[in-house]
Chains A and B, each alone.
Chain A
């Protein structure tokens, strides 16, 4: 681990500092939002597959940074989750005429959701489950590419002043993740050196405790360092940490609620999402008064950034038009019976527009 790090940094000593313009974090944000919106707008496996390929292409074009490598692990975890979700979804949704197999059935009472586990496994439920998994995988790849390419610190600075402290907390949490992965590796190695096989369930406590402890210790030291460097100063009033924690929780609940609502149509969750949003806005208003920060230099918005942002907006507009028009099966449903989804070139164009960051980095590559 350490040696690999040493070798890597040694090989980079001769490398020139990053030349030219780096894409504006706002452009990446527009790309991510556009990509996610386009994916949300369709359930047609043809467009989703295309989007997955596009996301992967962009991810591959930006992953050369060490951080990109670390986030590769997270993308992998996301994909594994997506695959696992298929049998789960198949087992919980059992309707449709094309029965493939029949499993023993287990029904839950209505106060426990009233759903049925097992029963008929149908082509329709299998198709729906695969589509959902494809959607999840695509979103994960988009998020992975976004994470690997943006400078989180600069992204944080795009946030409105009032939210900047909250965003910094999030940023620091993100910075800690790759370090935690690296630390987990050295812990696993240390376990093997102590003669404990670092594999299987029995090794988990030995791995988890030192990893968590290491992460916690680093976080405390980071907090200490930030405190000593004047972070959170100014108003001097307490409650900042509390507001930060509540804010992070609110944001988490809001994201989770929106996600769950989309995929599972749960009714209670949007309420939670709205509550989370309200908390967030409340904090923004509450904290807004005391925060007074400046910026060393504003990020430049170059033509390439505009190109990416416009492409992302256009992708959403095209996909929305397709969905509202009803052409090309943008809102494909496997029910009541599995049929081959239709295809419309506009849907393909919409997804291909999302390749913009890969093209942009290619353009920069040939110029420099």
Chain B
């Protein structure tokens, strides 16, 4: 198992090694020591490898990930999993602002809380937050699922498109054009699948409420012309 101690090795060496992983390699598990809040740890990995980071990371950890299973045994700074395409990122601590922003696929699991703008502009990623999320989360979110076991802050799902938002706790306020919607059988199925994948066993899908777009902002309404 290749081990990179970021106190002695540069971040560039780590990321280059991760980018050079070839299909069929036996080196499938990387360990990163002493990240000490470094930015851009394990970004743009497209090989099918596991990366375990022993400590807290800074900005953009696992950004553009398209194959790796990244586990952070600590907290993550802003933009964890930004524009992720596939694979899994698991943060065992908390995540800062805009976790999973613009993500197109894969699964981002945050054991603690996520800060503001979690899942902003998400485009297909699945995000499971076991704690609570901050204000303006899922702003302009287009597709994918955001599952929150705790509470959501102000302006959840403002200007939302077709992402599904599931919140088990309270929602401080809903953003423009975001409304509560009926939790149907197909949603219970999606929820159960994501809870299973995130390793959550003690929570029932029926405990959640679903929020989605009222679809009133999709098209320009001529009656509003004077507002601009």
Q: Are both chains from one complex? A: no
A interface residue numbers (CB < 8 A to B):
none
B interface residue numbers (CB < 8 A to A):
none
